[in-house]
Structure 1
Amino acid sequence: MRPRVFSAGAGPRTVNRGALLLALATAIAASAAACSSGDGAGAPSGGAQGGGGSSGSGAVEGLVSLRVEPGAASVALAYGESAVVQLAAIGRFQDGSERDVTAQVSWGTSDLFARVDAGELTTASPGRVRVIAADGPLTASADVTVKLAGTIALPGAPPGASAALDGAPEAASAPAIAYPLDGALFPSNIGEVEVHVRKGSAGQRVGRIEMVGDLIDLRLVGACEPLPDEGGCAMALPAEVVPMLVRTSEGEVMETRVRLAAEDGAELGESAAIDVRWASAALSGGLYYWRTDGTTLQSAAIYRYDLDDAASPPELFWENEQSPPLANGQEMPCMGCHALAQAGDKMALTFGGSGPSSFALVDVATADIIALRNTDAAGFATMTTFSPDGELMVNAFRGALTLRRADETLEALGDLFAPTIDEGERLTQPFWSPDGKHLAFVAWQPGENGAGDELYGDTVRGAQILIARSDGAGAFEAPRALVPRAQDRSHYYPAISDDGAFVVFNTSRCDGPPGNGPYGNDPCDTYDDNSARLQIIPVEGGAPVDLARANGDDTWANSWPRFGPSHDTYRGKNLYWVAFSSRRPYGLRLAGSSDGTTTPQLWFAAVTLSPGGAQGGDPSFAPVWMPRQNDDMAHPTGNHIPQWAEKALPVPQ
């Protein structure tokens, strides 16, 4: 069922499907064009610059200057339709006279999906469009603001809902938006977005999402469906509407509010405004994450989310039934600490936990085991990272890093950094940068800075992060401290961006809340720490920056950060997506906890950074909950340890 659209002063009508599809394509492609075309200035060539255009017959004799009237214009764009603006080119001639030369000059526009014919601009995409008139070397331009406007009736909207929401709101009935989070930046391909609202009055049943700003004046009206959280309800921004919000997000101002009321218009309240945007950049690649229903470790599985087809739900890739038995005969041992080659074609798996540390190298395309080390109590490997080409890997095992071939031989090529690390220092959690130029890893000292004697490498209290230069083919320079050891802190789980420029990592506090599980409950032992926060630092060093908006203001156990396999641009800066697990609440659908008593969920946060420059404060945005990660929202699974590859291979059947 498609949304219905209401224009000012008109009744409901059905959206033309062809126009709708054109509008959706325009929003994404034109936004990308705007990023690459700068301010859009420049003379058209052959009648068009970027978008469509028409050409005059040649130079206008005696013309000395041009102007476009009006020089600035605004037009409302109804959802699913096209907007039209008529412009005129006025020429000044050698004799001082002026006349209309609209039909004689060439016309063009900076917008790939707008078209200008004889001064008539036609577009199905909101945004700011520069229109240029030219005759030989003479040019003139006008700027047109196209504002997405109107009212959309969502499927199931009660009759008269729009009128019920038009009155003066009462402060005592004001609702509050619980999701999306204020300051969030969504990727362009996330699809439908639920808006969770805390009611201001028990009788509120209908709602209106109002999005107002420089490039938008849109209202979506419908029923506000009850949520399990008492006192809450939800509406949805339909997937077909979301792409249009990419272009409107380019405005300086874009505010979202929600009005709720009873069906007869009583109990009308309006929420405070939040700032939520959509980037033209999309999530891409394959996200493979660890999932458990919380009953036993044997219930764990690895699921794969194909972000190039983000509308599809995650699929099961590996479950414990596929795991080989341990050397002691234990069937279906738990698996974890998975790692992916950059191309997404190989996976490293550890079985039985950190103690047994049995190991398999898996062909992702077939889910077949390439090589297996199902050893006795001596173990083999716990955590792994691959070289950029996937031919080598670095395994962490009980405080040592070993370079090996990532093939059926698993040939050991030598231990890393043993002569250059302080005596007694133990190493774990390696991450080889996608560009091959650096290896980041964690170091800790048993018995020092609060650390115990355990050597498995997943509980490493008082840890620091080291980094070593690499040639990408197995040669490493002496490491240096990137994030030095600090009193009453642990720094861990490093990951390096696709361009090799930044390291995102976790920091936890030793005075933070303890854990609640059967293992690793020390507040800063790096094992599921409740106080874990995301921080970022240039790969060359400097002062770490807390990603405050991504983290939130409580102890949500924000863990296992991983960069996406590529980056984009947003408002003149490099845009990176970071996936991580968190126990923060998902609006009013899923409760969160600051003490580790609820299951973690996967989130994405946008981070915008200046290449090689000063960052100037928190570069993060509030995060976005990963859609479709639970089969049953009433019984959510625990989802964490996201590993991100360039491609999600089809799941073997």
Structure 2
Amino acid sequence: MRSDGSSPPPCSGQGTAPQLVYPPDQVLLPPNMNVIEVQLLPGAGNTVFEIDFANAGTDVRFETKCTAITSTRGQATGGCAFALDPTDWSYVATHNRGGDPVTVTVRAAPENLSCVSGSNSRMISYAAEDLAGGIYYWQSTTQNGVAGKTGGIFRKDFGNPDPTPEPFLTPGNLNKCVGCHFLSRDGLVMTYGSDDADSDDEYGDLKVVLYDVTKRTATATNLPAGFQTFKAAGHDMFFASDGRGQSNSPELLAYSGTTGQSMTSSLFAGLTGKRVTHPDWSRDGATIYFTLATAITGLSGYNLKDDLHVTNGSIYAATASGTGATNPVALVTAASADENNYYPAISPDGRSVIFDRAVGTTLATHDSYNNPNAKLFAVPATGGTPVELKKANYADGMTNSWPRWSPFVQTTACGCATRARRTSTAIRRCRPRIRAAITPSHSIPTARSRRSG
């Protein structure tokens, strides 16, 4: 609104309307997340923005300038960011906890307020209950002034009013990259991979570390590469895939979760000729879910047998008993050689399995690694027809990948799908998959707010 109280007319120029990009439409957020960033493309000529959160009982408006978003290499993306501070987040979340969705829209105007343009809208909902625990994720970092070569593990505890994530395990000035990680459901133990900071996607220089989360110390080092999963709700043992393909047998390797000592492996003799990878152990300890796939070999410049790249995957369930697993049964079978089902994750109540599916006629379109073609599906743990999670797959080329649930049984189960597009042509190990068409920034712009309701 102008200083004289009048409203400016709609802008008529081409491309003046702002475009709201983030948050995703119809996303469900825990009330104690305490932070969210609105990301948008500003539209031609616009410098002043009003960001609205509204429904029948809420009318919260923020006036702000554009806080430019840059990539990890410091390059402009053309986007703007606005982050709610914890106080404003609490107001909106408290008033809408377990209630009707809140519609997010943006209005934009040039500096002289001669006209105004409106954006598309997105709907967000706040869950009825808080989410317990925290989230661990990988993030690219800059080392010695160079971006895109390395990264580390960061953590954000739900309920912590500070929106800044904690650098949990980072390489510092060492020429290392701390990458893929697997956390026990009790949150006490973790495995993670560490290799040279060379932005590659192979296991030749990768070593796995068993790590005590509470003590912040390594329990065992130089463990074989692969995908791991901890036993049930605890951490006294874990299964791992044969990541480098040292054996031609379809098997899961067992290790002590307290010492890292090798234990008896589980051989699935009836699955000869395939790779067993991506294991996930149910919270009740009864079942191991895994991908039965074909390792990709013979690509130009890539002649390894690593299970980082697999194709034609089917989802299997095996009975867990003691330190072994037996009786594998297909839960989701690949419909053809062009379909890949992978990265299964069992819900904490044991009822649903969420997984990735990529379909295509070329290796690039159905490879399990960093695939823009990947989409999320879910299937009952007892079997049935998989259902596409269309709200998560709301656009093409999203690279939806490696979904994870919250570790606890709650009314709101958090399927935390890590997902992102590449910002360069360099291949990086286990990139973060936080969906955003604009690279996230943590800058909080100065803003004025108006609340009602």
Higher strand share: 2
Question: Given the superposition, is the C-alpha separation of residues 215 and 196 from structure 1 closer, same or farther in structure 2, using an over 3 Å criterion?
Answer: same
CA distance in 2, matches of 1:567, 1:625: 32
Cα contact 1:431–1:494 (8 A) shared by 2: yes
1:354 matched to 2:203? The reply is yes
8 Å CA contact retained: 1:255, 1:273: yes
1:385 is matched with: 229
Q: 2:150 aligns with which of 292, 299, 312?
A: 299
Q: Is the 8 Å Cα contact of residues 464 and 483 (structure 1) preserved in structure 2?
A: yes
Alignment of 1:418-429 (within 5 A): 418-419=268-269, 421-429=270-278
Q: Deviations over 1:292-328 (max 9, x none)?
A: 3376997332223323426242223334479xxxxxx
The question of whether the paired residues in 1 share the 8 Å contact of 2:99 and 2:125 is answered with no
Q: Distance in 2 between matches of 1:188 and 1:164?
A: 36
TM-score between both structures, scaled by the size of structure 1: 0.55
What are the equivalent positions in structure 2 for 1:312-323 lying under 5 Å apart? 312-320=163-171
Q: CA deviation at 1:390?
A: 0.8
Q: Among 111, 118, 127, which residue is 1:279 paired with?
A: 127
What is the match of residue 266 of structure 1? 114
The answer to whether the Cα contact below 8 Å between 1:508 and 1:526 also exists between their aligned partners in 2 is yes
Amino acid at match of 2:335: A
* Aligned mate of 1:583, from 409, 420, 444: 420
CA contact (8 A) 2:293 2:310 kept: yes
SS in 1 for 2:135: strand
1:539 to 368, 381, 390: 381
Q: For 2:443 and 2:104, locate their aligned partners in 1 and report how far apart those are by CA, in whole Å.
A: 29
Structure 2 matches for 1:35-184, cutoff 5 A? 166-170=7-11, 172=13, 174-184=17-27
Once the two structures are superposed, residues 612-633 of structure 1 have per-residue CA deviations (whole angstroms, 9 ceiling, x without a partner) of xxxxxxxxxxx78999x86789
Shift of 1:530: 2.3
Match of 2:185 in 1: 342
What secondary structure is seen at the aligned counterpart in 2 of 1:428?
Answer: strand
Aligned-pair identity in percent equals 26
Q: Which residue of 2 aligns with 1:371?
A: 220
Counterparts in 2 of 1:259 and 1:300: CA distance versus 1, 3 Å: closer
CA contact (8 A) 1:298 1:333 kept: no
Query: CA, structure 1 residues 185+171, in 2 after alignment: closer, same or farther (shift >3 Å)?
Result: farther
- How far residue 373 of structure 1 moved from its aligned partner, in angstroms, is 4.4
Aligned to 1:93: none
Tell me the CA shift for residue 284 of structure 1. 3.3
Unmatched segments (≥5 aa) in structure 1: 1-159, 323-330, 375-379, 515-521, 570-574, 585-591, 604-622, 634-653
- Paired residue for 1:400, among 245, 251, 254? 251
Change (3 A) 1:459 1:238: closer
1:558 aligned to 380, 392, 400, which one? 400
Tell me the SS of whatever aligns to 1:458: coil
The partner residue of 1:525 within 367, 384, 387 is 367
Partner residue, 1:462 = 312
1:484 to 2:333 alignment = yes
In the superposition, relative to structure 1, how do residues 444 and 601 fare at CA in structure 2: closer, same or farther (>3 Å)?
closer
In the alignment, the residues of structure 2 paired with residue 233 and residue 227 of structure 1 have an alpha-carbon distance, to the nearest angstrom, of 5
Tell me the secondary structure at the aligned position of residue 293 of structure 1: strand
Contact 2:35 2:163 in 1 (8 A): no
Cα deviation per residue 1:414-446 (whole Å; 9 max; x = unaligned)? 221433x32222211211112222211111246
Query: Displacement, 1:567?
Result: 4.5
Cα pair distance change 1:630/1:430, threshold 3 Å: farther
Deviation at 1:546, TM superposition (A): 1.7
Paired AA for residue 484 in structure 1: T
Q: CA deviation at 1:465?
A: 1.4
Distance in 1, matches of 2:82 and 2:176, equals 42
1:493 lines up with 2:343 in the alignment:
yes
Aligned to 1:239: 86
Matched AA of 1:430: P
CA positional deviation for 1:231: 6.7
Q: Assess, with a 3 A threshold, how the Cα gap between structure 1 residues 257 and 482 changes in structure 2: closer, same or farther.
A: same
Contact 2:22 2:436 in 1 (8 A): no
Shift of 1:192: 4.1
| 1:251 to partner: Cα distance | 5.5
Please state how far the C-alpha of 1:475 moved relative to its aligned partner: 5.2
Deviation per residue, 1:95-145 (Å, 9 max, x gap) = xxxxxxxxxxxxxxxxxxxxxxxxxxxxxxxxxxxxxxxxxxxxxxxxxxx
Letter in 2 for 1:490: N
Query: Which one-letter code corresponds to 1:227 in the other structure?
Result: A
What TM-score does the superposition give when structure 2 sets the normalisation length? 0.77
Alpha-carbon offset, residue 341 of structure 1:
1.6
Cα 1:417–1:184 change in 2 (3 A) is: same
Q: Is the 8 A contact 1:257 1:271 kept in 2?
A: yes
Asked if the contact 1:438–1:500 (Cα under 8 Å) also holds between the matched residues in 2, the reply is no
Larger Cα Rg: Structure 1 or Structure 2?
1
Pairs aligned (count): 414
Q: Check if 1:549 corresponds to 2:391.
A: yes
Q: CA deviation at 1:387?
A: 0.5
1:241 partner letter: D
- Are 1:383 and 1:396, in contact at CA under 8 Å, matched by a contact in 2? yes
TM-fit CA distance, 1:370: 1.9
Aligned in 2, Cα 1:258/1:437: closer, same or farther, shift over 3 Å? same
Tell me whether 1:504 sits opposite 2:345 in the alignment. no
Distance 2:295 2:39 in 1: 46
Greater relative contact order structure (CA < 8 Å, 6+ sep): 2
Quote how far apart the aligned CAs of 1:241 are.
2.7
Matched, 1:193 2:40: no
Gaps of 5+ in 2: 70-75, 196-201, 445-453
Range with greater deviation from structure 2 (306-315 or 458-467): 306-315
* 1:454–1:495 CA distance, 2 compared to 1 (3 A): same
Partner of 1:222: 63
